[in-house]
C-alpha cells in the first residue's frame, strides 16, 4: 500500500510539474490531510459510543446470553463449533458491530473469532468450513444501522444522511443470503 501511495504522490508531482503548478499539488496534499483529520475526529465519537456499548454488553453478560439465544441459528451454520466455545461470542460481537455499521470496531472481534476457530482446525493453515463461512458472513456484513456511512454523510453536510438506510439494508441482506448459500454449497463440493 505504501508503494501505491508513493506512486500516486510521484504521479501528482509529475502532473503538477508538467502543468507548471507544483504548488497546487502541495496545497492539495495539505487540504486533504486536514480533511482526513477532521473526518477522523468526527468518526471517533460514533465509534467510541458503540464500542463502549458493546463492551458494557460484554461485561454485563449480555453477549453470553445472546450467544445462547443465537445457538439455534448458529448450530446449523457452524456445526463444527462446539457449544460454549469462545469463538461464538467473538463471532457474535463481530456480527453485532458490523450490523451497527461499525466495520472498524468489528475487526478486532473478527480476528479473535478466527484465532478461536483456528484452535479447532485439524489442519492448521488451511481454512475450515466454519472459518470460510464466518469470513463470507463477515464480508457480506449486513447493515441494520449503517452508522459510519450516516456519520460520513452528516460530516459532509448531507441534507438527509439517513436516506441510505433502506437501500443499504436491502443490499447487505441480499449479500448475506448469497454469502451463506455459496459458502454452504461450496462446502459440499470441496469436502
Residue 117's pLDDT is what?
95
Q: Pick the closest to residue 58 from 93, 23, 13, 83 (CA basis).
A: 93
Q: Pick the closest to residue 55 from 99, 13, 89, 11 (CA basis).
A: 89
| Nearest-angstrom CA–CA distance, 123 and 107 | 24
The reply to whether 11 falls in a domain is no
Task: Quote the Cα angle for 132-62-79, to 5°.
Answer: 30
The reply to whether 149 falls in a domain is yes
Give the domain extent around 112: 45-189
The reply to whether 175 falls in a domain is yes
With contact defined as beta carbons under 8 Å apart, do 176 and 140 qualify?
yes
With contact defined as beta carbons under 8 Å apart, do 92 and 99 qualify?
no
Q: pLDDT tens for residues 139-175?
A: 998 888 887 788 888 888 899 999 999 999 999 999 9
The reply to whether 95 falls in a domain is yes
Q: How confident is the model at residue 191 (pLDDT cuts 50, 70, 90)?
A: low
Residue 58's pLDDT is what?
78
With contact defined as beta carbons under 8 Å apart, do 35 and 155 qualify?
no
The reply to whether 176 falls in a domain is yes
The reply to whether 162 falls in a domain is yes
CB atoms inside a 10 Å sphere around CB 156: 10
The reply to whether 151 falls in a domain is yes
Q: pLDDT tens for residues 98-120?
A: 887 777 778 888 999 999 999 99
Residue 119's pLDDT is what?
94
Q: pLDDT tens for residues 19-73?
A: 888 788 778 878 888 888 877 777 677 677 777 877 787 788 887 787 778 778 8
The reply to whether 27 falls in a domain is no
In the numeric block, which cell numbers belong to residue 42? 468526527
Amino acid at each position: 500500500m505504501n508503494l501505491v501511495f508513493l506512486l500516486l504522490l510521484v504521479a501528482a508531482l509529475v502532473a503538477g510539474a508538467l502543468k507548471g503548478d507544483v504548488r497546487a499539488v502541495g496545497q492539495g496534499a495539505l487540504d486533504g490531510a486536514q480533511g482526513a483529520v477532521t473526518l477522523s475526529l468526527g468518526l471517533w465519537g460514533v465509534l467510541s459510543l458503540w464500542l463502549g456499548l458493546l463492551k458494557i454488553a460484554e461485561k454485563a453478560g449480555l453477549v453470553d446470553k445472546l450467544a445462547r439465544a443465537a445457538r439455534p441459528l448458529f448450530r446449523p451454520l457452524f456445526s463444527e463449533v462446539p457449544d460454549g466455545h469462545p469463538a461464538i461470542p467473538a463471532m457474535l460481537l463481530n456480527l453485532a458491530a458490523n450490523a451497527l455499521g461499525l466495520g472498524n470496531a468489528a475487526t478486532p472481534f473478527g480476528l479473535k473469532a478466527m484465532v478461536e476457530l483456528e484452535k479447532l482446525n485439524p489442519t492448521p493453515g488451511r481454512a475450515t468450513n466454519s472459518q470460510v463461512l464466518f469470513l463470507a458472513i463477515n464480508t457480506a456484513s449486513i447493515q441494520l444501522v449503517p452508522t459510519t456511512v450516516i456519520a460520513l454523510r452528516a460530516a459532509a453536510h448531507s441534507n438527509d444522511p439517513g436516506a441510505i438506510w433502506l437501500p443499504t439494508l436491502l443490499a447487505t441482506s441480499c449479500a448475506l443470503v448469497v454469502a451463506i448459500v455459496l459458502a454452504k454449497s461450496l462446502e459440499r463440493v470441496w469436502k
